[in-house]
């Protein structure tokens, strides 16, 4: 999966789950302030990403630092590379 494919899958998964405007899916979009997600949504976001990418990320420390879509893109890309290396 290329980096762009990963970004596309993240965007489409979150747009569907949280009924977001596709035009708002930019790397600098803050998931709380710009996309309007809250603490319950972030629980579901992890489940949605785990389902889309078939990995387990719930216990990862880095998740707590996520603020923007760009953070998610970087995190998922890193995680995918990590899995590939294994």
Partner 1 sequence: MQLRRVVITGCGSVSPYGRGVETLMEGLLAGRSAVQNFPDLAAIGGLRTRVAAKVSGINPKEIPRKDRRSMSAMSIFATMASQDALAQSGVTTEQLTGGRLGISLGSTVGSTKTTEELFRDFFTDSSLERMKSTIFFQIMNHTCASNVAQALGISGRLLAPSAACSTGCQAIGYGYELIAMGKQDMMLCGGADEFHPLTAATFDNINAASVAFNDSPSCTPRPFDRARDGVVCAEGAGVVLIESLDSAIERGVPILAEIGGFATLSDPRSIANPNVEAMECCMRLALEDADLGADEIDYINAHATATEQGDIAESEAISRIFGELVPVSSLKGHMGHTMAASGSLELIASLEMMSRGRLVPTLNLEEVDPACSTLNYLRLVQATEIDTFVKNSFAFGGVNSSIVVRRFKHD
Stretch that binds partner 1, among 3-11, 21-29, 36-44, 63-71 (CB under 8 A): 36-44
Alpha-carbon Rg for the chain, nearest whole angstrom, is 12
CB of 51 to partner 1, least distance (A): 7
HSE (CB half, 13 Å, CA atoms) of 40? 2
Q: Quote the DSSP letter at residue 20.
A: -
SS3 category, 30:
strand
Question: Is position 67 an interface residue for partner 1 (rule: CB under 8 A)?
Answer: no
Closest to partner 1 by CB, 58 or 81 = 58
Question: Is position 12 an interface residue for partner 1 (rule: CB under 8 A)?
Answer: no
């Amino acid at each position: 999966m290329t980096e762009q494919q990963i970004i596309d899958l993240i965007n489409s998964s979150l747009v569907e789950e949280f009924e977001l405007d596709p035009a708002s899916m930019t790397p600098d979009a803050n998931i709380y302030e710009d996309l309007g997600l809250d603490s319950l949504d972030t629980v579901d976001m992890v489940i949605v990403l785990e389902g889309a990418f078939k990995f387990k990320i719930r216990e990862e420390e880095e998740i707590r630092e996520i603020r923007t879509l760009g953070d998610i893109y970087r995190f998922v890309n890193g995680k995918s590379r990590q899995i590939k290396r294994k």
